[in-house]
Amino acid sequence: MNNFHFHNPVKILFGKGESSNFKDEIPVGSKVMILYGGGSIKKNGVYEKVQEQLKDYEVIEFSGIEPNPHYETLMKAVEIVREKGIDFLLAVGGGSVLDGTKFVSAAVHYPNGDPWNILSKGDIKSITNPLPIGAVLTLPATGSEMNGNSVITRSETKDKLGFGTPLVMPKFSVLDPTVISSLPERQVANGIVDAFVHVMEQYLTYPVNAPIQDRFAESILCTLIEEGPKVMNDSSDYEAAANFMWAATMALNGLISTGVPQDWSTHMIGHELTALHGIDHARTLAIVLPGVMQVMLQNKKDKLLQYGANVWNVTNGTEEVKVNTTIQKTVDFFESLGIKTRGSEYGITEATVDEICNRFEQRGVNALGEKGDLTIDNVRQILKMRL
Amino acid sequence: MNNFHFHNPVKILFGKGESSNFKDEIPVGSKVMILYGGGSIKKNGVYEKVQEQLKDYEVIEFSGIEPNPHYETLMKAVEIVREKGIDFLLAVGGGSVLDGTKFVSAAVHYPNGDPWNILSKGDIKSITNPLPIGAVLTLPATGSEMNGNSVITRSETKDKLGFGTPLVMPKFSVLDPTVISSLPERQVANGIVDAFVHVMEQYLTYPVNAPIQDRFAESILCTLIEEGPKVMNDSSDYEAAANFMWAATMALNGLISTGVPQDWSTHMIGHELTALHGIDHARTLAIVLPGVMQVMLQNKKDKLLQYGANVWNVTNGTEEVKVNTTIQKTVDFFESLGIKTRGSEYGITEATVDEICNRFEQRGVNALGEKGDLTIDNVRQILKMRL
C-alpha cells in the first residue's frame, strides 16, 4: 500500500426523518442561501421540511441549478451571496446542486479574478474564506455529499471541468433514503451506474497489496449489484434504498482510494460526451468504461481477474475468457438497469470521437490512466470501440 | 439499517516516514506535552523523530503511562498541564497512551469536581474546553487513534471504566507501520486479537439488512486472519504490517457500527479480568468471546452462520455443526497467534467469576448485549464455560 493522508470531517445524518432533524448543524444567526434545482423538491416534500428546519434563520432561495451545473448560473448565485451577505449555503438536491454549491462557496471570496480560474487553471490555492456548506441529498449517485469534489460546465465553451479541495467539503450532509421513492427510474439507474464506476476508477488499476481497500471496493460493488435492481423494481423499498444510498456515499468519500492508484480516465472521457452531446453523466461512463477495460487490458489484467472472481464469481476458463466474461458481465449489468452502453445509441459518430481527441490535444491532456500512459490514440480506440 | 449519525474528523497520516512529517499539524506557538509510556519509543527511534518534529515548539515530557493507564498517573499529568499552561497534547504510544491522553485532555478544565466523575458517573456533558490531541501510534490494536473512546483504570479500587466523546478525538494521528518491526511478538498478537474482537462486537449481533457494514466488517476480519500471521512470522514485513495497522484502525473508527446493533459485553467482562488479574486486555477478549458466542447463541445465530460462511468458509453440516465449527475456528485462530483462551490458563478460578458477578451487581450492570438481555447469570455461565 502507498502512503496516504486521509481526512474526511463531513458529518453524516442518515436515515428516515433526518431531513427534519438537522437545524442544530447550522450556526445560530446564519444568513442562509438554499440552493436547489428544477423544483422537484417542491413535489416530494423535501422543500417543506427544509423550510421548517430554517424557520429561525434569515433565508434566501436560489433555484434553477441545472444538471451539469453551469458556471453562468452559479455566478448569479455568487452575485446574490455577495450582495446579501449570505454566510451559509444549504444545497438541497443531487450531485449537480451540491457541486454547484461548492463552486459558489469557493467563488464568493476568490481574490484572483474570474473564479473560472479555479477550474481552468486549477487555482485551488487562491481560494480564500470559502462559505460553509450543508447538504440535503435528494439523489444518491455522485458522492458529492461526503467529498470536496465539484464538476462545473461552462455552457458558452462546452467545457466541463472539475476541481477538488477539502475547503468545500460540506460541514454536514443529510441522507434520508425516503427521497428515493419519488425519483424517476432513469435517475435511479444513473445513480447506481455512477456509484459503480466511481468504485471501479479507484479499484481497477494494478494491485499494490491493499486488501482492506480492495475488499471495501468489492463490498460496495457487490452491494450495488444486489441492491440496485431492488430499488429499480420498487423505489419505495426503504431498506434497499438505504443500502444503495450508503453505498453511493462510500463509493467516493476518499476511503477506498487511500494508498492505492486511481484511474479517472472514464470520467475524463465521459465528461466530453456530456459536454458535447448532453448525454447523462452516468450513461457516458457506461459507454466508456468497457472500452477502457479492453484497451488498457495489459495495465489492468491482474485487477480485472480479481474483480471478475470476487464480484462476478468468474473463475473458469483461460485468462482471456475470464477477462472477456467479466467485461461482458459489467456491460450486462448496466444494460439490465436500462442503460444503453453504445455511443451510436446516443447519436455519437466518428466526428465526435475526433472532436474529443482534438479537445484533449488542445488542453494538453495526453497522459491519463493510473500509469499516465493512456494516450490520445488510446482515447480514440476506446471511443471507436464503443460506438 | 437503523438511522445513524457519523462524524469522524480525525486526520490520518499513514505510511513509512510519516512520523517525520507531521509538524504542520500542530498549531504554531503551541506549548506541547508529549505523553508516552515505558520508554520503548527511545529504543525504536520514534522519540528522536518526534523531538525533531517539535524542535520549534516549547515541549514538556510526561512519561510512565502504564498499560491500562491509571487515573492516579494521569492526574499527575493533569497537574503539570495546568501548572505549565500546556495547550497541545501529543500522545506517542499505543492504545493505553492514547486513552490516557484523552482522559488528560478532558480532565484539565473539567469543572465538576474530580474528573473521575467522567468515568464513574458518565459525566461527559460537563467536559469543557478539552485540549487538542495529536497521536503518533506505535502499536496497532485499540483503534484509539481514530475515535473518541478511552478506558481508564483506578488502581486503588481496581475499577476499569470507559468514556467516549467526539471532544477527545485526535486532531491527527500518525500511522507509520515501520514501528511494528520493533514490537514484541506478544504485543503484535494482542493487537490482532483486539482488533478482531472490536469488529466482532459491532458485527456479531443480529441482521438488520446492512450489507455495506457487514461486508466491511468481514473485510477487516478476513484481512486480520490473512495478514496477522504474516506479521507474526516476520514483523519487518512492511506490507503485512501496513495492512494490519490499517485494519486495526478501521476496526474501531465508527464506520462499521453505523446503523447496526452492537454488543460490547465481551469488552465489559474482559475489563474485569484485567482489573482483577492484570491479564492483557486482548487475552481477556480471547477468553470471553467464545463464551458469549455460545451462551448468547439464540440472539446471534443468524449472524454466526453468516460469519462462518463469509469469513471461515463454513458451509457444510447442520446449523449446530456450522455454529460449533465457526466458534472453534475463532478459538483456533486466537490460539494460533499464541494466545491462550481458557481462564484457568491465566489462574482464574470460580472465585473470580463470583467476584465479577458481584461487582456487576453492585454497579447495577445487568442488561448487556445487543438486546440488553445478557444477565449476570449469563455472565456467570460465560465465565464458567471459559475457565
Q: What is the pLDDT of residues B94-106, one digit of tens each?
A: 999 999 999 999 9
Residues of B in contact with A237 (CB under 8 A): none
> What b/e readout covers A277-297, taking b as 16+ CB neighbours within 10 angstroms?
eebbbbbbbbbbbbbbbbbbe
Taking Cα atoms as reference points, which of B105, B91, B178, B187 lies closest to residue B134? Answer: B91
Q: Are residues B216 and B164 in the same domain?
A: no
Q: Are residues B224 and B333 in the same domain?
A: yes
Contact B283, B196 (CB under 8 A): no
The partner residues of A152 in beta bridges, in order of sequence, read A161
Taking Cα atoms as reference points, which of A77, A179, A86 lies closest to residue A137? Answer: A179
Q: Are residues A87 and A133 in the same domain?
A: yes
Q: What is the pLDDT of residues A268-287, one digit of tens each?
A: 999 999 999 999 999 999 99
What is the amino acid identity at position B141?
A
The partner residues of A151 in beta bridges, in order of sequence, read A162
Q: What is the pLDDT of residues A232-275, one digit of tens each?
A: 999 999 999 999 999 999 999 999 999 999 999 999 999 999 99
Q: How far apart are CA A373 and CA B14, in angstroms?
A: 27
Per the prediction, chain A carries an average pLDDT of 97
Q: What is the pLDDT of residues A59-106, one digit of tens each?
A: 999 999 999 999 999 999 999 999 999 999 999 999 999 999 999 999
Per cent of chain A over pLDDT 90 is 96
Residues of B in contact with A259 (CB under 8 A): 14-15, 242, 246
- For chain A, the residues whose C-beta falls within 8 A of a C-beta of chain B are 1-18, 209-212, 215-216, 218-220, 222-223, 226-227, 239, 242-243, 246-247, 250, 255, 258-259
Residues of A in contact with B7 (CB under 8 A): 9-12
Q: How far apart are CA B91 and CA B134, in angstroms?
A: 6
Structural domains of chain A, count: 2
Is residue A4 in a domain? no
> Cα dihedral sign for A272, A275, A279, A282?
positive
**CA–centroid distance for A185 within its chain:** 18
Is residue A49 in a domain? yes
Could you tell me how many CB contacts below 8 A there are between chain A and chain B?
118
Taking Cα atoms as reference points, which of A46, A155, A33 lies closest to residue A101? Answer: A33
**CA–centroid distance for A151 within its chain:** 8
Facing residue for A219 by CB, picked from B9, B15, B216? B216
How far separated are the first and last CA of chain A, in Å rounded? 37
The parent domain of residue A120 ranges over 11-178
Q: How far apart are CA B164 and CA B108, in angstroms?
A: 16
Task: Return the H-helix or E-strand segment holding B185.
Answer: helix B185-203
Q: How far apart are CA A126 and CA A129, in angstroms?
A: 10
The partner residues of B62 in beta bridges, in order of sequence, read B35
How far separated are the first and last CA of chain B, in Å rounded? 37
Q: Do B246 and A259 touch (CB under 8 A)?
A: yes
Is residue B123 in a domain? yes
Q: Are residues A29 and A89 in the same domain?
A: yes
- Which of these three, A178, A201, A224, is where a domain ends? A178
Give residue A109's pLDDT: 98
Taking Cα atoms as reference points, which of A242, A267, A213, A233 lies closest to residue A16? Answer: A242
Q: How far apart are CA B140 and CA B283, in angstroms?
A: 15
Facing residue for B4 by CB, picked from A1, A14, A247? A14
Q: Do A259 and B211 touch (CB under 8 A)?
A: no
Contact A326, A307 (CB under 8 A): yes
Is residue A225 in a domain? yes
Q: Is the pLDDT of residue B160 over 90?
A: no
Q: Are residues A129 and A271 in the same domain?
A: no
Contact A357, A376 (CB under 8 A): yes
The partner residues of A374 in beta bridges, in order of sequence, read A368
- Which of these three, A139, A163, A178, is where a domain ends? A178
- Phi and psi, residue A86, nearest 5°: -65, 140
Taking Cα atoms as reference points, which of B130, B136, B161, B106 lies closest to residue B35? Answer: B136
Q: Are residues A194 and A264 in the same domain?
A: yes
Q: Are residues B151 and B261 in the same domain?
A: no
- Phi and psi, residue A196, nearest 5°: -60, -45
Chain A residue at shortest CA distance from B146: A7
Q: Do A216 and B219 touch (CB under 8 A)?
A: yes
Q: How far apart are CA B262 and CA B257, in angstroms?
A: 7
Residues of A in contact with B255 (CB under 8 A): 255
C-alpha cell at B100: 490516557
DSSP state of A254: S
Q: What is the pLDDT of residues B14-30, one digit of tens each?
A: 999 999 999 999 999 99
Task: For residue B67, give the CATH number of its domain.
Answer: 3.40.50.1970
Coil/strand/helix, residue B316: coil
Coil/strand/helix, residue A130: coil
Average pLDDT over residues A355-377: 94
Q: What is the pLDDT of residues B252-280, one digit of tens each?
A: 999 999 999 999 999 999 999 999 999 99
- Which of these three, A146, A178, A210, is where a domain ends? A178
In which band, very low, low, confident or very high, does the pLDDT at A327 lie, cut at 50, 70 and 90? very high
Q: How far apart are CA B68 and CA B85, in angstroms?
A: 26
Task: For residue B267, give the CATH number of its domain.
Answer: 1.20.1090.10
Is residue A332 in a domain? yes
Residues of B in contact with A220 (CB under 8 A): 212
Q: What is the pLDDT of residues B288-346, one digit of tens each?
A: 999 999 999 999 999 999 999 999 999 999 999 999 999 999 999 999 999 999 999 99
Most distant pair of Cα atoms in chain A: their distance: 65
Give residue A292's pLDDT: 98
Taking Cα atoms as reference points, which of A34, A36, A26, A246 lies closest to residue A145? Answer: A246
Q: Is the pLDDT of residue B365 over 90?
A: no
Q: Are residues A99 and A127 in the same domain?
A: yes
Q: How far apart are CA B11 and CA B25, in angstroms?
A: 9
- Phi and psi, residue B222, nearest 5°: -60, -40
Facing residue for B14 by CB, picked from A6, A219, A255? A6
Q: Do A7 and B9 touch (CB under 8 A)?
A: yes
Q: How far apart are CA B246 and CA B249, in angstroms?
A: 5
Q: Are residues A150 and A215 in the same domain?
A: no
Coil/strand/helix, residue A209: coil
> Strand pairing of A149-154 and A159-164?
antiparallel
Q: How far apart are CA A270 and CA A305, in angstroms?
A: 24
Facing residue for B3 by CB, picked from A15, A215, A216? A15
Sorted by sequence, the CB contacts under 8 Å of residue B79 that are 6+ apart come out as none
Give residue A365's pLDDT: 87
Average pLDDT over residues B194-223: 98
Query: How far does B222 lie from chain A, in Å, by closest CA?
Result: 9
Facing residue for A215 by CB, picked from B3, B5, B222? B222
Facing residue for B15 by CB, picked from A4, A222, A247? A4
> Strand pairing of B149-154 and A172-175?
unpaired
In which band, very low, low, confident or very high, does the pLDDT at B158 lie, cut at 50, 70 and 90? confident
C-alpha cell at B373: 438481555
Q: Are residues B242 and B349 in the same domain?
A: yes
- For chain B, the residues whose C-beta falls within 8 A of a C-beta of chain A are 1-18, 209-212, 215-216, 218-220, 222-223, 226-227, 239, 242-243, 246-247, 250, 255, 258-259
Residues of A in contact with B10 (CB under 8 A): 7
Q: What is the pLDDT of residues B108-143, one digit of tens each?
A: 999 999 999 999 999 999 999 999 999 999 999 999
Taking Cα atoms as reference points, which of B198, B163, B156 lies closest to residue B71? Answer: B156
Residues of A in contact with B22 (CB under 8 A): none
Q: Are residues B284 and B377 in the same domain?
A: yes
Q: What is the pLDDT of residues A282-307, one digit of tens each?
A: 999 999 999 999 999 999 999 999 99
Contact B145, B249 (CB under 8 A): yes
Give residue B39's pLDDT: 83
Query: How far does B248 lie from chain A, in Å, by closest CA?
Result: 10
Taking Cα atoms as reference points, which of B226, B227, B221, B249 lies closest to residue B240? Answer: B227
Per cent of chain B over pLDDT 70 is 100
Instruction: Name which of A2, A3, A25, A169 to mutate to probe chain B: the one with the most chain B Cβ atoms within 10 A of its Cβ.
Output: A3
Q: Are residues B62 and B198 in the same domain?
A: no
Q: How far apart are CA A304 and CA A297, in angstroms?
A: 8
Is residue B2 in a domain? no
Is residue B3 in a domain? no
Q: How far is CA B219 from CA B2, B142, B196, B207, B240, in A?
A: 21, 18, 11, 17, 15
Residues of A in contact with B259 (CB under 8 A): 14-15, 242, 246
Is residue A3 in a domain? no
Q: How far apart are CA A7 and CA B13, in angstroms?
A: 9
Query: How far does B219 lie from chain A, in Å, by closest CA?
Result: 6
Give residue A39's pLDDT: 82
